[in-house]
Amino acid sequence: MFVRTVEPAFYDTDALGHVNNTRLPAWFELARNDLFRLFTPDLDPRKWRLIMARMEVDYRAELQYGREIEIRTYVSRLGNSSFTVSQEARQDGKLTNLGHTVMVHFDHATKQAVPIEGALREALEAHRQEEPADA
């Protein structure tokens, strides 16, 4: 599992005074950089080997300005050429948001999915885990 901490900025809030729901997909994408580096270590977009097939976010509780948010990122499913990245946003130890993103190992030149094999599969397996009980 990869863990990052985000400190919300004032502009991340909305008229209701809590963190706006549009910020979570952006923070989840930022936190996926750790997994992206397994495919493209230098994050050079000209060497990119992934596409996103699906993204969903469950909003379970409000996030508050002025308190750090912990984002946990892990692989919850590993298929032949695709995998699901699960992400949790937690504030004060409480699960506030849960996201799932399906990523496909992809060859952009041939426009084809590519099997996940060898050391890459092993690296993803090392970050594989089940969703938490409070999910």
Mean pLDDT of the chain: 92
pLDDT of the residue at 134: 64
**Residue 29 to residue 75: CA distance in whole angstroms:** 14
What Cα–Cα distance (Å) separates residue 114 from each residue in 3, 81, 88?
Answer: 28, 6, 28
pLDDT at 33 over 80: yes
Least confident of 12-16, 107-111, 131-135: 131-135
User: How many Cβ atoms are within 10 Å of 6's Cβ, its own excluded?
Assistant: 20
pLDDT of the residue at 133: 59
pLDDT at 107 over 80: yes
In which band, very low, low, confident or very high, does the pLDDT at 11 lie, cut at 50, 70 and 90?
confident
pLDDT of the residue at 20: 86
Cβ 23 vs Cβ 12: under 8 Å: yes
pTM: 0.90
Overall average pLDDT of the 79-103 stretch: 96
